[in-house]
Structure 1
Amino acid sequence: MKQTIRIGVVCIARKTFDFRAAKEIYEKIKNDLRILENVEWEFISDLVIEKEEAQKSAHDLASRRIDALVCISGTFALGHLVLELNKVIRKPILLWGLEELPYDGGKIRLNSVCGINLNASNLYKSGTKNYHIVIGNEIDTDWLDAIRVLKAFSTAHVGVIGSRAHGFFNLDIDELDLFKRVGILIDYYQLDDVFNQTIDNHEILERKSQLEKLFDLSDLNLP
């Protein structure tokens, strides 16, 4: 079973573009996202257009303890909206750009991709690099799976059995860097402590069954 994650979703826009069409697209996106399994969605219902709305949405989503943020560029929007969201939420961001709508004789209707470019540039130059970009009608499910991995790591208990061979410096673990990146603290165990444990046969069979569900073990000679 996939790790359950909680994802915040916001759609930003600007009234000088076709924000009404963006709202319709956003409603369809919300319905499509609700179908995905093992994701708890936290939607900001209305379009976020003004700076004050971004600030309110940021505190709202942060209070819901989301694991990551999806920021849909419904239309081109002013660059400070994403910065206001990120300033409070401080979680990985998916910048989602929409495909342009058919030309109807006036100005470009969404200009969403241009907004993505602006937001990515502003985030990068302000020191935020944990964002990803997708352009199209569907969310990037690989990004969602990456968030699952990050959440699993943040709640994991990871142990190292034994130690590296003498002189194999590249096999060392930079523990503080690992903690900084994924929130893992390492526990160390001696080989003797592991091999001398008494383990009930029922536990062995239970663990074997679990591994067989997760991995293809057909090439292994298991007892």
Structure 2
Amino acid sequence: MISEKKEKLRIAYIPLAKGSWLNKQGHTTREESIKELTKNPEVEIVTPDFIVTNDDQAYETCEYFKNTHVDVMLVHFIGFAPGSIITILATAIPAPVILWSIPEAEMTGGRLEINSFCASNLNAFILSKLGRKYKYIFSSHESVWEKLGQTVKVLSALKTLRKIKIGLVGSRVPGFYTSNFNELELRRVFGIEVQYITLLELIYLADRIPEEEIGKILPRFTSIERDKVTDEELIKSVRLYLAFRKLAAKYKLDGYAIKCWSDFGDIYGIGVCSCLSFLSTDGIISACEGEINGSVSMLINYLLSGQVPFFCDFIKYDETENTGIVWHCGAASETLCKEGCSGKLCKHGSIDGGNKKGVTYEFPLKTGPVTFCNFGEGKNGHRLLLASGIALDTEQLIKGNPLNIKFDCNVKELVETIIYQGFGHHYTVVHRNVYNELTELCWWLDIELLTVKS
């Protein structure tokens, strides 16, 4: 699972200052900065035991990191530094770069003491000409994590994504061309691997789950109120859930995209919505209707927010209230259930015309800040539509999992962007504002970003 693949982000902390700009305070700044940086348990700080002041030391630093993989270079200008040093470092170490300038000492009519911002200015020019991606922060060591936190979160997510493996069970559902995906482009951009799994393998495994295994997990299902779901449907749902878990372990999967209709209802007699709900709650993030890009979007939002996202359709909007309703059949994680509400295992609202076969997990979703996005493919590769808003108190408006959102942007312009830019009909909603994090992630990966004005 994804939780087992997370590793600390390894940051190469490299303090720079030309010899003639290095003073006693510079050494103190280095020591205090290392102390502050190592307070974050999510990162590992690796650093040479000196301040890089010249080209020879730059080459020595490169040699130091030759056998030590780093995920990002944090270049700290504790004094002015010429461009030759960053050129040597950037050529030898292929990691993203963060330039860090510190506040200038008080000016009292004497010599300029630090000249840190000017150093970042010069070195940013050089990195730009070298075609390197970089970020810039301006901060004292005391508040460095306030400025560094977002970028580290994004780079940590990108590091984990390169180890992600998604199981595609079956294929996309009939006629949903929106669920097509470019497998090699996905591998190139994110490093994500797709494991193809047949419905035959899944059902073969489900039919052979030992009764004792069913008995162990059954209370998780029977503890939930049922609405017309039969014992047979419940046991089948348990069998499928356990089969999904076994396949996830076998193939080392972090998520699924599952062809949820019409084969399951036609051949196995039930829908798999509740199984997806439980899997996502377990940390095996799962999208329905065979949409790999939807699963990718959910996994990205999960890594950035720590919250299980909601895979959904956008089904109604109100220009006067500037709201929109998102919904899906009943596969939302129970962690998203509205406060004070208990979910129910129900018959599916659509299979065979509705209310004939189980099993969905129905409840309205909870309130709070949300991020709304659509990840897919445009004419020039991957792209992301991004918006934010507030999830409003929502009743069980229809069967499944409804949620009413008041958008921060203009909902009419959002709808027109969706329609005229040709976005697919599946969206990811996560209960946290990760708008800025997603924006930065797109920047690092050169993914086209589309937003709508407020």
Q: TM-score, normalised by structure 1?
A: 0.83
Counterpart code for 1:163: R
5+ residue gaps, structure 1: none
The whole-number CA distance in structure 2 between the counterparts of 1:156 and 1:196 is: 26
Report the counterpart of residue 330 of structure 2 in structure 1. none
The unaligned stretches of length 5 or more in structure 2 are 218-241, 246-274, 285-305, 309-334, 346-454
> Could you tell me how far apart the structure 1 residues matched to 2:12 and 2:173 are?
41
Residue 122 (str. 1) matches residue 131 (str. 2):
no
Is the Cα contact below 8 Å between 2:83 and 2:122 reproduced in 1?
yes
Conservation of the 8 A alpha-carbon contact between 2:75 and 2:100? yes
Q: TM-score, normalised by structure 2?
A: 0.44
**Equivalent residue letter for 2:101:** G
Q: 2 CA distance for matches of 1:128 and 1:146? A: 17
Q: Is the 8 A contact 2:9 2:44 kept in 1?
A: yes
Cα distance, 1:31–1:173 mapped onto 2, change above 3 Å: same
| Partners of 1:22 and 1:74 within 8 A in 2 | yes
Deviates most, 68-77 or 10-19: 10-19
CA distance in 2, matches of 1:195, 1:148: 36
Per-residue deviation, residues 11-50 of structure 1 (Å, max 9, x unmatched): 0101332443222111111111111112111012211011
Does structure 1 residue 135 correspond to structure 2 residue 138? yes
- 1:210 is the counterpart of 2:279: no
Residue 160 of structure 2: aligned partner: 152
**Which structure shows the higher strand fraction?**
2
1:39 aligns with 2:53: no
Map 1:95-110 to 2 at 5 A: 95-110=99-114
Equivalents in 1 of 2:181, 2:281: separation in Å?
A: 31
Which of 104, 113, 118 is residue 117 of structure 2 equivalent to?
Answer: 113
Pair 190,114 (structure 1): closer, same or farther in 2 beyond 3 Å: farther
- The sequence identity of aligned pairs, in percent, is 21
2:195 is aligned, of 179, 182, 187, to 187
CA distance in structure 2 between the partners assigned to 1:174 and 1:97 by the alignment: 41
How far apart are residue 172 of structure 1 and its match? Answer: 4.1
Which whole-Å deviations, capped at 9, do the CAs of 1:78-125 have from their partners, x for residues lacking one?
112112112111011111111111124322211111111111111111
Larger Rg: 2
Aligned residues: 221
Q: What is aligned with 2:172?
A: 163
Determine the C-alpha separation between the residues in 2 that align with 1:222 and 1:68. Answer: 46
Asked which structure has the greater RCO (Cα within 8 Å, sep 6+), the reply is 1
Alignment check: 8 A CA contact 1:71 1:94 kept: yes
Q: For the residues of structure 2 that align with 1:40 and 1:95, how far apart are their CA atoms?
A: 18
Q: CA RMSD in A?
A: 3.0
1:9 to 2:131 alignment: no
Match of 1:23 in 2: 27
CA distance in 1, matches of 2:7, 2:83: 33
Provide closer, same or farther for how the CA distance between residues 196 and 18 of structure 1 changes in structure 2, counting only shifts above 3 A.
Answer: same
Match of 1:84 in 2: 88
Question: Which residue does 1:221 correspond to in 2?
Answer: 343
CA contact (8 A) 1:19 1:74 kept: no
CA distance change for structure 1 residues 173 and 86 in 2, over 3 Å: closer, same or farther? farther
1:148 and 1:23, CA in 2 relative to 1: closer, same or farther beyond 3 A?
Answer: same
CA distance in 2: counterparts of 1:50 and 1:143, whole angstroms? 28
Aligned match of 1:173:
181
Judge conservation of contact 2:102–2:116 (CA < 8 Å) in 1.
Answer: yes
Matched AA of 1:136:
S
